[in-house]
C-alpha cells in the first residue's frame, strides 16, 4: 500500500506529519465518549484509530472499511481480543439495528454522495441515545484556502452539516479543528499568485523552475493554518478547517 494523500496509513511512508497529527488528535478527542461502550469505527482505514479506541477504554471496537486491502492490513496489525475488522460499506452496514453504543465516523461523509442515507444508516445501527462522533472538512475553509480534494464528492458548511444530522440526532454540538490563522501582506500576495497559477494552465511550465522542496516551503507559508491540532470548542469569529460533530440518536 502506498500513501495516496487521502487515506491515512500510519504504517506506510510518505504521510505528512501534520496529516498524522490531525488524525491522531481526532481519535484522542473521541476517547471520553466511548468509555466502556461497544463502538463501530466506520471507514476505519488501516485500523490504528480502532486500536486507539480500544486501548482508550472502549468495551469493543468493530472497524469497517470498504477497501479489502486496507482491512487485511488492519487485521494483520491491530486485531486483538476486543478489536475486529471487516469489509463494510457505510451505506449498508453489516450489523442489526441497535447494535452499537457509539459510532465513530472520521473524514468519511465527504466521500459519500448520499450523505443523508449514510447518516440514517449510522442511526439504524445505534442503540437509543447512542452517540455519534463525526468529522468532516469545512467547505468555507477549504474554499478560502484553495483546497480542492479530488476524493471528496461533497463538503459542508456548519449549517449544512447540522441540517443533515438533525433528522436522526439531537443535542448536536459542533467542535472545530485546525483554526485558520491571519495572513500578513507577503502571505496574501503569495496566495493570490498561487491561485492565479492554479487557474491558468499554461503557467504549469513554471514548475520546472522550482523544486518540490521550494514549492512545499511556499505552500506552508500560505496555508493560513495555525499550528494547533487538538479539537476544541469553536471560538466565535474563528474559522476552522475541520468540523467535529457530536450528537445522540433521537
The verdict on residue 59 lying in a domain is: yes
Q: Are residues 118 and 29 in the same domain?
A: yes
Q: Are residues 175 and 194 in the same domain?
A: no
Q: Are residues 147 and 32 in the same domain?
A: yes
Q: What are phi and psi of 186, to 5 degrees?
A: -65, -45
CA proximity to 54, closest of 74, 36, 77, 73: 36
Q: Are residues 159 and 54 in the same domain?
A: yes
Q: Are residues 114 and 189 in the same domain?
A: no
Please tell me the distance from the alpha carbon of residue 133 to that of residue 137, in angstroms, as a whole number: 14
Q: Are residues 117 and 194 in the same domain?
A: no
- Written as tens digits, the pLDDT of the chain (250 aa) is 444 455 555 655 545 688 899 999 999 999 999 999 999 999 999 999 999 999 999 999 999 999 999 999 999 999 999 999 999 999 999 999 999 999 999 999 999 999 999 999 999 999 999 999 999 999 998 888 778 899 999 999 999 999 999 999 999 999 999 998 765 665 556 666 666 666 665 556 555 555 556 555 555 554 556 678 999 999 998 899 999 999 999 9
Q: Are residues 202 and 152 in the same domain?
A: no
Tens of pLDDT, residues 116-164 = 999 999 999 999 999 999 999 999 988 887 788 999 999 999 999 999 9
**Domain limits for position 211:** 182-223
pLDDT for residue 242:
97
Q: What is the largest CA-CA distance in the chain?
A: 59
pLDDT for residue 144:
80
Q: Are residues 137 and 42 in the same domain?
A: yes
CA proximity to 120, closest of 135, 109, 107: 109
Collapse the DSSP code of 156 into the 3-class scheme (helix H, G, I; strand E, B; otherwise coil) and give the result.
strand
Specify the CATH number for the domain of residue 122: 3.40.50.150
The verdict on residue 71 lying in a domain is: yes
The verdict on residue 84 lying in a domain is: yes
> How much is the pTM?
0.82
pLDDT for residue 208:
59
pLDDT for residue 56:
97
CA dihedral 229, 235, 236, 240 (to 10 degrees): 10
Q: Are residues 209 and 97 in the same domain?
A: no
| Residue with the three cell numbers 491515512 | 8
Alpha helix locations (H) across the chain? 17-30, 48-55, 68-78, 115-125, 139-145, 158-166, 185-199, 212-222
**Residue 133 has which C-alpha cell?**
462522533
Amino acid at each position: 500500500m502506498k500513501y495516496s494523500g487521502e487515506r491515512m496509513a500510519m504504517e506506510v511512508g510518505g504521510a505528512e506529519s501534520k496529516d498524522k497529527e490531525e488524525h491522531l488528535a481526532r481519535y484522542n478527542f473521541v476517547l471520553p465518549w466511548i468509555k466502556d461502550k461497544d463502538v463501530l469505527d466506520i471507514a476505519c482505514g488501516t485500523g490504528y484509530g480502532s486500536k486507539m479506541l480500544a486501548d482508550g477504554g472502549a468495551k469493543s471496537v468493530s472497524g469497517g472499511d470498504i477497501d479489502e486491502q486496507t482491512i487485511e492490513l488492519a487485521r494483520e496489525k491491530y486485531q486483538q481480543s476486543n478489536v475486529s475488522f471487516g469489509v463494510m460499506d457505510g451505506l449498508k452496514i453489516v450489523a442489526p439495528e441497535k447494535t452499537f453504543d457509539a459510532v465513530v465516523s472520521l473524514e468519511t461523509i465527504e466521500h459519500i454522495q448520499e450523505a443523508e442515507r449514510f447518516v440514517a444508516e449510522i442511526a439504524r445501527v445505534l442503540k437509543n441515545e447512542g452517540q455519534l462522533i463525526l468529522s468532516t472538512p469545512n467547505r468555507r475553509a477549504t474554499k478560502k484556502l484553495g483546497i480542492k480534494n479530488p476524493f471528496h464528492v461533497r463538503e459542508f458548511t456548519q449549517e449544512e452539516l447540522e441540517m443533515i444530522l438533525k433528522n436522526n440526532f439531537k443535542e448536536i454540538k459542533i467542535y472545530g479543528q485546525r483554526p485558520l490563522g491571519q495572513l500578513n501582506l507577503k502571505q496574501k500576495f503569495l496566495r493570490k499568485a498561487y491561485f492565479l497559477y492554479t487557474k491558468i494552465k499554461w503557467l504549469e511550465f513554471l514548475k520546472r523552475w522550482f523544486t518540490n522542496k521550494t514549492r512545499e516551503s511556499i505552500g506552508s507559508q500560505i496555508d493560513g493554518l495555525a499550528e494547533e491540532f487538538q479539537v476544541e470548542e469553536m471560538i466565535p469569529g474563528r474559522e476552522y478547517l475541520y468540523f467535529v460533530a457530536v450528537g445522540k440518536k433521537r
